[in-house]
A = this chain, B = another copy of it.
C-alpha cells in the first residue's frame, strides 16, 4: 500500500473516532473520491509578497492543486485543489477583543491543518475563536467539494459538498450538503442537507430549509463519487479555461486592472471584462463579460458571467452571478447561485443582501428591489415575495417570524445591523476604500505577488506526497 493510501486511511480513522457518537463513517465518502493519479498531476503553489508574514510548512501531506498565503502549517493531510488564504491572520502583539476581554497575541497566528482531507475547499480566516488566538486549527476533518471553512477552527467533523462553516467552531459535527452554518460554536451536532442556519446566542436565530427535491437537482452526493448536479456541471464545464491559466508559470492578465486593483493571474478572464479601481479578483475566480465596479471583489471560486456589478459589491467565496445587474453594495453570499439567462435577466437593487447559499434560477425576468434581504430558492416573482423582506421591515422584527420555509426568532435589527457591519468589514479588509495611500486592503497588498510552484514525488512509494518543505523569511 502506498504512503498516500496509508495517509488517507489514517485520516479516515482519526475523523471516525471523533464522529463515533453520531456513528458516522467518513470512509465511503473519502475512498475513491479522487482518483489516485490526480494527486501527482497538479502542482501546489504559494504566494510570496512583501506584505504578508511568511511561514509555510508542509509535512507528510499531499497538497495537489492547493494554494497557500500567509502562515500555514500542514501535516499528515490531503488538500486537493484547496485555497488556504491566511491574509487575515493576526500578528504577534495584536489584541483580540472578546466579550470585554483583551487577549494579546504572544505569537503570529498560523493556520494549522492536521490529519484532514479537504477537497476544493476555501479556508479563510478572520478568526473569531478566542480560545486559541495563535492557531487557527483544522484537525481531523473531512470536507468535500467546494466547502468553505471560514473564520473559526474546526475539529473532528465531516463537511458535505458546497457546505459552509462560517464563524462557527465545530467539534465532532456532521454538516450536510449545501448546509450553511453560522452559529458560534457547535459540538456533536448534525446539520441536515440544505439547512441555512444563522444563530447569534440568544439574540437571533435564522433558519431556512431547502426542499429535498430542489436540492437534489443542484447537488447530491453518492458515497465514493464526486458530487453531482447543476452546481458541479456548471463548474466542470469551465474547467478547461482554468487549465490554460494553470499551465503557464507567468500569465499576462487578459485585461488591465485599474489603479488599486488586484487581478490574480490564477483567475480566468474572458470577453469584455472590466476590473475597476480597488477591485480584488482572487485566484480561481472566473470572469466573463463581467463589469466589476469600484471596490468590488470576486473571491475564490466565484463566477461572474455577463453581469455588471455597480461597485462595492462583495461576491463571497463560491458565489456565482450569471446574466445579472447588481446595484451598488449588493452582497452575494457564499456559494449563492444567481442564474439569469439572456431572456430572463436578473436585476438586484442597491444595498440588497443575498444570503449565503441562496439559489435564484430564473424562469422569468426578475428585479429584486433595493435594500432587501433575500434567501432560499427563487425562480420567479412569486418565489421572491416568499423569500425576501425589505431590510427596514426585517429590522423591526422582534420575536418569532415565519415566511415559507424560513423561521426567524429574536432581534431583526441586530440581525440586519450585524450583517451590514460585517459587510463593511469585508469591504475595508479587501481594500475597497483605498485612497491611493491609506486604507490598504487585500486588493492593494496582493498586487505584487510571486507564486512558487511545488510538486509531489512523481514516482516511487511516496508518489503523490510532498517532501517536507519549510519556508520562512
- Please state if A249 and B250 are interface contacts (CB–CB under 8 Å): no
Stretch at the interface among A31-39, A153-161, A462-470: A462-470
B-side contacts of A48, CB under 8 Å: 455-458, 467
Separation of A457 and B49 alpha carbons in the complex (Å): 6
Find out whether the CB atom of A471 lies under 8 angstroms from the CB atom of B472: no
Query: Contact partner of A248 among B248, B449, B458, B462, CB < 8 A?
Result: B248
The verdict on A455 contacting B462 (CB below 8 Å), with A248-B247, A469-B471 known, is no
Task: Give the contacts of A37-92 with B (CB-CB under 8 A).
Answer: 40, 43, 48-50, 54
Q: B249, A457: Cβ atoms under 8 Å? A: no
Whether the pair A450, B460 counts as a contact (CB closer than 8 A) is no
Q: Kindly state whether residue A231 has any CB partner on chain B within 8 Å.
A: no
Max chain B CB contacts within 10 Å: which of A50, A246, A449?
A50
- Residues of A228-267 contacting chain B, CB below 8 A: 246-250
Interface centre among A54, A463, A473 (most CB of B within 10 A): A473
**Does A272 belong to the interface (CB within 8 Å)?**
no
A221 in the interface, Cβ–Cβ < 8 Å?
no
Q: With A and B bound together, what is the CA distance between A458 and B48 in angstroms?
A: 8
Residues from chain B with a CB closer than 8 A to the CB of A250 are 247
Within 8 A of B (CB), among A420-473: 448-463, 467-473
Residues on B with beta carbons closer than 8 Å to the beta carbon of A452: 43, 452-455
Q: Do A471 and B467 have beta carbons less than 8 Å apart?
A: yes
Assembly CA distance A249 to B244 (angstroms): 11
State the Cβ distance, A64 to closest chain B Cβ, in Å. 11
How many A residues have CB within 8 A of the partner chain? 34
A471 to chain B, nearest CB (A): 5
Asked if residues A49 and B459 are in contact (CB atoms below 8 Å), the reply is yes
- A471 partner residues in chain B, CB cutoff 8 A: 467-470
A455 to B469, CA, bound (A): 15
Would you give the shortest CB distance from A46 to chain B, in whole angstroms?
A: 9
Q: Report chain B residues within 8 Å CB of A463.
A: 50
Whether B470 pairs with A469 at a CB distance below 8 angstroms is yes
Query: In the complex, what distance in Å separates the CA atom of A467 from the CA atom of B53?
Result: 11
Contacts of A455 in B (CB 8 A): 48, 450-452
Q: Which residues of B contact A247 (CB under 8 A)?
A: 248-250
CB distance from A130 to the nearest CB of B (A): 31
Query: In the docked arrangement, what's the CA distance between A454 and B44, Å?
Result: 11
In the bound complex, CA of A248 to CA of B43 (Å): 13
Measured CA separation A472–B470 after assembly (Å): 9
- Decide if B450 touches A457 in the complex (CB within 8 Å): yes
**Which of A247, A250, A452 counts the most chain B CB atoms within 10 A?**
A452
Question: What 4 additional pairs, Cβ within 8 angstroms, besides A50-B459, A452-B452?
Answer: A48-B457, A452-B454, A453-B453, A454-B454
- Between A and B, 30 residue pairs with Cβ closer than 8 Å are A40-B450, A43-B249, A43-B452, A43-B453, A48-B455, A48-B456, A48-B457, A48-B458, A49-B457, A49-B459, A50-B457, A50-B460, A50-B462, A50-B463, A54-B467, A247-B250, A248-B248, A248-B249, A249-B453, A448-B460, A449-B458, A452-B455, A454-B454, A467-B471, A467-B472, A467-B473, A468-B471, A468-B472, A468-B473, A470-B470
